[in-house]
Structure 1
Amino acid sequence: MATELHETISMAKQERHKNLFLNYRNLNKFPVELLKDEGLQFLERLYMKRNSLTTLPDNLAQKLPNLIELYLHSNNIAMIPEAIGNLARLQSLDLSDNALQVICPEIGRLRSLRHLRLANNQLRSLPPEIGELRELETLDVSTNLLMSLPERLHQCLSLQCLTADRNRLQLLPRQLCQLHSLNELSMAANCLTALPLDLGRSRELQFVFVDNNVHLKGLPSYLYNKVIGCSGCGMSPQQSIRQSLCLFVGEVEVPLPGEVKAIGLESDRVVPLEELAMRTLHCSYQNNPNGLKLLPPIMLPKSLFDLLLCPLGHCHRCSQAMFTIVYPKLFPLRETALAGVHRRNTVNFVAYCCSSHCLRTFDLQG
């Protein structure tokens, strides 16, 4: 086996191969032949699936500087070196089915990365630096131990497909709604209790899968007429995870984001002063990209300043930004296009409006 491996690598060096396949070789160490002398300066794609590797060499980028794709699916890699960030040309990295518990912050230096697959590991968190991957199009972190996603993920403006099935997520950062290129979002088999109010507002988002989130009682009405997977949601006989603020309509309980301080009633005529102030500030600066940067943070508590940068949501009737108060309206599933698809599901659509007037005039069917 060692002789065959040596011959394969020697031939790749002599013939200046751009692709090298070392799958199913029972390797427990990275082949030293790949790192000798100048390495394989011309190699672009390295496939090492189904081996027994436990780590990667620190000089990988030095010896294989032109790697575009690194495929390490199904190994025993427990950690990746900080030097991984030196692979400047890397576009695709697959570390699925390994033993990763931590991803080093240096992964944020892979500015050319387009596809990152980390499924079937033991990750409990993702580094905030993942937000530096501005070219990232695909991120798969399924079957890990994640309890949250980094807020800075919204900086991955090229992200089109985000998959985080089978984790321990309870809430999604509302900043995900700023991913205007996102086409598919899959969060099946988690512990979700609510979804961001603006989810689905972007026309690009067409596919949302939240199946088997037993505490999820409602879907934002922006998802109406999208392709949705939601079977198994709201089906648990157990007590729902309690939030600080919930909307109750009959037996339906819809948790609301923590930033909401009040639920407006149809009889309300005046929006709270704090909400009016936030809306006024937002309108003043939304057409000036540098406006918020000029606003001294001391004018507002940090929590409100952060909220001003990313509103809680937008009115489903008139698109007015909302910050501390919402007027929710439930539409039972049987009244929507999904009724014939998920007949046994108790998930409802929830519209969030900015005023009692919008609440009264909003019609999901319109």
Structure 2
Amino acid sequence: MNTDIWKIIAIAKQEKHQYLYLNYKNLRKFPHELLKDDGLHHLEHLYMKMNLLTTLPENLGQRLPNLIELYLHSNNIEFIPEAIASLIKLQSLDLSNNALVILCPEIGQLKSLRHLRLANNRLKFLPAEIGELRGLQTLDVSANCLTALPESLHLCISMQYLAADQNHLKDLPRQLCLLPNLKELSVMSNNLKCLPQDLGQYPELQCVYVDNNSQLYGLPSYLYHKVTGHRGCGSSIQDEEVKLSFTQGQVTITLPDEIQGIGTENDPVPTLQEIVMRAIYSFFRISEKGLDLLSPISLPRNLYKLLFYPLGHCHHCSKPMFTIVYPKCYPLMETPMAVLHNRKTKVSFVAYCCSIECLQLFDLLS
């Protein structure tokens, strides 16, 4: 450790600094003096940007028990030790621009965490335990290698800002629609084919950015009149793996995998399976114990899961839908956003209804 760093740490110990800046110091490992004895128990904010660190020390939580903010932007950190859980007061963790391949499940034990930034790493998945971060407000996992987001994210009930740009996402979990405080969602430059039908149902979500998703032709009508970025969506590229879609006008909309059928005027009655699902849902919702009373073996696994998290709600009457929808497109040119995206995208807003009657009564422009 060079003399300059030693002096900085020594002064911080002597004067009981709450902030310590060790940015741009060419550090390959945490300075020994930083973890020696109890001299830095008072430290709350540690900044170590643009160094050469490859991991975090196991005793970090023991030596810096009052750490609130840990800023490690632009290092070479490949993994986070399980001991990260000992930073029980940590509120902000920035590991952007590192070499992370795996995020350890122990991250879920940081109950005080408010801001987690993991952009520009090599993450292929996020642990389900991330849903245990009930106080998390900001999550940025942009520029990684993610093919999916964990369904447990909907348990992060304090989430306000979620960014997952530049990954390999093909869809988003329906459960994201349940985040009551989500204000901004950014999933630009992915492989999205469709969006959850209820996305935008909560008024708190005002900004959704899905730009540069070339196979995305449909936006839920709940996003109408909200700030929606969709430049570069709906290009002429077609995916041969599209399982279920419907065409209206010149636009072909891909539907979520859970949808098993599309209702039409020639087939106005939902399937028996759909009617039964709606009846079960309504009955158990009004019972004292709710859906928890159901046994997992009472229905096929995929249907049992749908009962807890319907694939959407009717845009007219708000009734839940499970396996069938009645969709209708509203061309982008009819919306206030048309001028901004004229001839730059092929996207329509889509209303999803539970019946022909609701579809005929619903009008996006009214």
The normalised TM-score by structure 1 is: 0.97
2:67/2:90 contact within 8 Å kept = yes
- Report what 1:284 is aligned to: 283
1:193/1:241 contact within 8 Å kept = no
- Report what 1:211 is aligned to: 211
Deviations along 1:216-250, one digit per CA (max 9) or x if unpaired, are 11101011001000010012x33235322111224
Letter of the 1:7 partner, please give it: K
Deviation at 1:337, TM superposition (A): 1.7
Number of equivalenced pairs = 365
Letter of the 1:16 partner, please give it: K
In structure 2, relative to structure 1, the CA distance for the partners of 1:34 and 1:241 (3 Å cut) is: farther
Trace 1:21-170 onto structure 2 (pairs within 5 A).
21-170=21-170
Q: Does 1:340 align with 2:339?
A: yes
- Report what 1:242 is aligned to: 241
What secondary structure sits across from 2:83 in the alignment?
helix
Cα distance in 1 for partners of 2:341, 2:102 equals: 38
What secondary structure sits across from 1:46 in the alignment?
strand
- Report what 1:295 is aligned to: 294
What secondary structure sits across from 1:56 in the alignment?
coil
Deviations along 1:29-60, one digit per CA (max 9) or x if unpaired, are 10110111125111111000111111110000
Letter of the 2:283 partner, please give it: S
In structure 2, relative to structure 1, the CA distance for the partners of 1:44 and 1:240 (3 Å cut) is: same
In structure 2, relative to structure 1, the CA distance for the partners of 1:142 and 1:187 (3 Å cut) is: same
Letter of the 1:327 partner, please give it: Y
- Single out whichever of 181-190 and 39-48 deviates more from structure 2: 39-48
2:214/2:237 contact within 8 Å kept = no
- Report what 1:365 is aligned to: 365
Deviations along 1:231-283, one digit per CA (max 9) or x if unpaired, are 10012x33235322111224311111111111001233422111111111222
Cα distance in 2 for partners of 1:112, 1:90 equals: 6
1:266/1:359 contact within 8 Å kept = no
- Report what 1:188 is aligned to: 188
What secondary structure sits across from 2:341 in the alignment?
coil
Deviations along 1:112-132, one digit per CA (max 9) or x if unpaired, are 100000001111111111111
Letter of the 1:210 partner, please give it: V
Cα distance in 2 for partners of 1:238, 1:217 equals: 11
Cα distance in 1 for partners of 2:96, 2:155 equals: 23
- Report what 2:324 is aligned to: 325
1:22/1:48 contact within 8 Å kept = yes
Deviation at 1:338, TM superposition (A): 1.5
Cα distance in 1 for partners of 2:301, 2:237 equals: 37
C-alpha RMSD over aligned residues: 1.2
- Report what 1:19 is aligned to: 19
Deviations along 1:41-96, one digit per CA (max 9) or x if unpaired, are 11111000111111110000000011000000011111111100111000000000
What secondary structure sits across from 1:169 in the alignment?
coil
Cα distance in 2 for partners of 1:39, 1:311 equals: 54
Cα distance in 2 for partners of 1:39, 1:266 equals: 75
What secondary structure sits across from 2:274 in the alignment?
helix
Letter of the 1:124 partner, please give it: K
Cα distance in 2 for partners of 1:327, 1:238 equals: 25
Q: Does 1:200 align with 2:200?
A: yes
Cα distance in 2 for partners of 1:330, 1:242 equals: 22
- Report what 1:258 is aligned to: 257
1:242/1:255 contact within 8 Å kept = no
Deviation at 1:360, TM superposition (A): 1.0
Deviations along 1:113-159, one digit per CA (max 9) or x if unpaired, are 00000001111111111111000000000111111101111110100
Question: Structure 1: where are the runs of 5+ without partners?
Answer: none
- Single out whichever of 282-291 and 5-14 deviates more from structure 2: 282-291
What secondary structure sits across from 2:276 in the alignment?
helix
2:142/2:164 contact within 8 Å kept = yes
Cα distance in 1 for partners of 2:288, 2:141 equals: 33
Letter of the 1:155 partner, please give it: L
Deviations along 1:317-357, one digit per CA (max 9) or x if unpaired, are 11110001000001111112221221112100110000000
Cα distance in 1 for partners of 2:67, 2:305 equals: 39
Cα distance in 2 for partners of 1:90, 1:263 equals: 48
1:39/1:64 contact within 8 Å kept = no
In structure 2, relative to structure 1, the CA distance for the partners of 1:111 and 1:241 (3 Å cut) is: farther
Runs of 4+ in 1 over 4 A off after TM superposition: none
Cα distance in 1 for partners of 2:212, 2:282 equals: 39
Q: Does 1:8 align with 2:8?
A: yes
In structure 2, relative to structure 1, the CA distance for the partners of 1:187 and 1:359 (3 Å cut) is: same
- Report what 2:312 is aligned to: 313
